[in-house]
Amino acid sequence: MDGKVILVTGALGTLGRVFMDESLARGARVAAVDNAPTQVPASAKKLELGGVDLTDATQARKAVDAVASHFGRLDALVNIAGGFAYETVAEADLKTWHRMYALNVLTTLNASQSAIPHLVASGTGRIVNVGAMGAVQAGSGMAAYAASKAGVHRLTEALAAEWKGKITVNAVLPSTIDTPTNRASMPNADFAKWVRPQELAEVILFLISDAASGVTGALLPVSGRV
């Protein structure tokens, strides 16, 4: 990772922070882009851009261009930004479906579309998206979320086919990630069976490494310990 410039969306959440820390520890330069505000000063190794609405294509493009300008290049894009909603189809509010599509599909689309020219210029460009095992087989109350994450899976495959030989595009498909929010919402679950953010970060780091140059269009399940 030494010297690589990695842009992470949704970077100020649990997984994003863990991934950034691991990337920085391995010598990467990291840009954090998030809708949440931040006042962390920019440095040669790290840049945080808060208050960015990635569902807006113009804001996404400005943020990505700012990252490339600050570091002089962009080598990898990791799309962690997204959202979750639990709602049965019988109780469905169309606003929930639109929100899930915007948070999961549009953020990934806008960031990827904005990053592609920079990633092509890198010569070793990488995109890694965060999908979901719940989009492979959806459970009760998961329809809107699963449908939007399935869109991320298909977007990953299409981008991989369109940019094969120039950019690798892959997705990780975690089961439940062990975060404070998930623990609070599912207090009776067996947390030991969940995916630790560190485990997921390791898989993403592999996919953006030189060792994964021959891997593209893959949807990789990450299920944690069983």
Contact 36, 17 (CB under 8 A): no
Q: Which among 215, 210, 203, 223 is positioned nearest to 78, based on CA atoms?
A: 203
How much is the pTM?
0.95
Is the C-alpha dihedral spanning 36, 19, 196, 116 positive or negative? positive
Segment 23-37, tens digit of pLDDT: 999 999 999 999 999
3-state secondary structure of 54: coil
pLDDT average, residue stretch 35-54:
96
Predicted pLDDT of residue 189: 83
- For 226, half-sphere exposure in the C-beta direction (CA atoms, 13 angstrom radius) is 3
- Residues identified as active-site: 145
Residues paired with 49 in a beta bridge: 33
Distance between CA 24 and CA 22 in Å, rounded?
6
Q: What is the mean pLDDT of the chain?
A: 95
pLDDT over threshold 60, residue 226: no
Query: Hey, what amino acid is at 187?
Result: P
Q: Which helix (H) or strand (E) holds 72?
A: none
Interacting residues of 158 by C-beta distance below 8 A, sequence separation 6+ = none
